[in-house]
Amino acid sequence: MSRAMRSQRFLVGLAIGLLLAGGGWGILLLAQMGRPSPESQWVEQAYAHKLGAAQQVRGRRMLIVGGSGAMFGLDSVVLAKGLGLPVINLSVNAGIQSAYIRLYARQALRPGDWVLFPLEYPLFHDRFAVSYPFLDYWLSHPSFSSLGTNPVQLARIYWQASLYRIWLGLKGLPDGFAPNGLYGPQNLDINGDQVRTEASRQEPWMREAVQASPVHQYGREASPLNATWSEWQALAEEVERQGGCAVFIPPALLNREAYHRGKEHAYYAELPDRARAEGLNYHGEPFSFMYPEENFFDTNYHLNAEARKRHTEAVLKVIRPAFGRCANTMQKD
């Protein structure tokens, strides 16, 4: 047999092998889709708790829609007193990404509701992103139409899924499984706020996690191709069409020297104007909500209970006039 023929047979065999391997991997993915993993359950059960709390409130409410930064960082009781209406904290985990967060917000939304969006910065540019929490949650709750998962994300889910995640899905949940530890409904109050986050409860590993938290480079990483401004604008317009008000504000974030120079400084300085140019009712300045290390509990987005009180008071000063103007405008219309 000639060298050329041997090479041809090798390439054909390699192609067939790759197709079989790829097809086998696809079968494994399909076999465990829709089977929740233990890692996704704290998010699912936290949302169930919060949606149930929202359903119990009659009449107009304010919903807080975002990631875990808002779950740790805002005090619903303080906001309710300051605004004069019930507040439900519907925020859970930014890691599941903006499409799922909007999906849950729409499940809770009722005519006349006010909605506060203290969105973590990546939620404005995650159109094609696939974080592990998103991948894990999508495999547990596969959705094509309602979530609007795009082909790029589907391809990344296929390639980024790990054998460990496949094994968790195939294994399924243990009988009587319930989340434990810091995250989950066991540490949420009746309004959906995270509890037991006083500075005195911070364990050494939590302090170390805050100290080791990343210095984000959103200024370098935020691509216009990944932008989700229009999706957030569409949700805000839904709120307003139903007689409600939608206000966007910056999240609380651990202050870093790198955020005050170069591209990173420009990103935060320009973001409010950019958001308003994209049609969002955005108020507040990112640098005003950046705090020193001692204010955080276990990540660079999670305030401790004492800092949460102070931050909520600062947020109230920003949003009270913003919601007031919005409500007056809706009444005139």
pLDDT in tens, 31-55: 677 778 888 899 999 999 999 999 9
Q: How many CA atoms lie within 13 A of 324 on its CB side?
A: 9
For position 241, which CATH number holds? 3.40.50
Asked, for residue 17, whether it belongs to a domain, the answer is no
Asked, for residue 113, whether it belongs to a domain, the answer is yes
| pLDDT average, residue stretch 148-167 | 83
CA 95 distance to own-chain centroid: 5
For residue 156, count CB atoms less than 10 angstroms from its CB and return exposed for 0-12, middle for 13-18, buried for 19 or more: middle
Above 90 in pLDDT, residue 313?
yes
**Which tens digit of pLDDT belongs to each residue from 17-35?**
434 334 455 566 666 777 7
Tokens of 195: 């509890």
Above 80 in pLDDT, residue 200?
yes
Please name the residues in contact with 143: beta carbons below 8 A apart, sequence gap of 6 or more: 103, 149
Asked, for residue 326, whether it belongs to a domain, the answer is yes
Asked, for residue 116, whether it belongs to a domain, the answer is yes
Asked, for residue 62, whether it belongs to a domain, the answer is yes
The per-residue pLDDT for 26 is: 57
Query: For a pLDDT cut of 90, what percent of the chain falls above it?
Result: 69
For residue 331, name the pLDDT band (cuts at 50, 70, 90): low
The per-residue pLDDT for 25 is: 55
CA-CA distance, 292 to 304, in Å (whole number)? 12
Beta-ladder partners of 303: 296
**Which tens digit of pLDDT belongs to each residue from 170-196?**
788 888 888 999 999 999 999 999 999
For residue 165, name the pLDDT band (cuts at 50, 70, 90): confident
Q: What is the mean pLDDT of the chain?
A: 89
Above 50 in pLDDT, residue 242?
yes
Tokens of 47: 């949302």
Asked, for residue 27, whether it belongs to a domain, the answer is no
Asked, for residue 18, whether it belongs to a domain, the answer is no
Asked, for residue 318, whether it belongs to a domain, the answer is yes
Higher local confidence (pLDDT), 144 or 124: 124
Q: Which residues of 270-290 are buried (b: 16+ CB within 10 A; e: fewer)?
A: ebbebbeeeebbbbbebeebb
Q: How many domains does the chain have?
A: 1
Domain of residue 203: give its range.
38-332
The pTM score is: 0.90
**Which tens digit of pLDDT belongs to each residue from 105-120?**
999 999 999 999 999 9
